[in-house]
Amino acid sequence: MLSKKPAETYEPDYKKDRDFFESFSFYLGTFFDSANGLFYRIAQLSEKNELNEREVKSVLVVCDDELNYIGEWQVPSYYRLDLSFTSSKGLMLFNQSRYVSEIDFLLPYDVFDVLSFSEM
């Protein structure tokens, strides 16, 4: 016989959920830049720092059009990689430090330039 006990409600613990998902390293996606013949693979790396606290770093892995490895670059945290795309200029990175919500029709993007990022 089925129990007539009411179903328990789930109360999300957002900090616990975030900590759980930040404990993994994973790839967010791959972009092909046809103008420059490059593939950009976006990775989230989860590491513990010297204080044993979890840090999540964003990394771009760059390959040529034949998938030969070129290099890896750590992306500063003020870039939102989930809002990235490629254009004729290259990989466009959303710069949230320059975003002003009162002027939301202007979206500040920077072009990824291998020379402007430090290689890992």
| pLDDT number for residue 110 | 87
| pLDDT number for residue 45 | 84
Cα 31 from Cα 37, distance rounded (Å): 11
| pLDDT number for residue 30 | 92
CA-CA-CA-CA dihedral for 18, 23, 26, 29, to nearest 10:
20
Mean pLDDT by 10-residue block, N- to C-terminus, for the chain (120 residues)? Answer: 68 79 80 90 83 81 92 89 86 84 72 63
Best CA proximity match to 71, nearest among 58, 86, 57, 60: 60
Q: Helix, strand, or coil here: 20? A: helix
| pLDDT number for residue 114 | 65
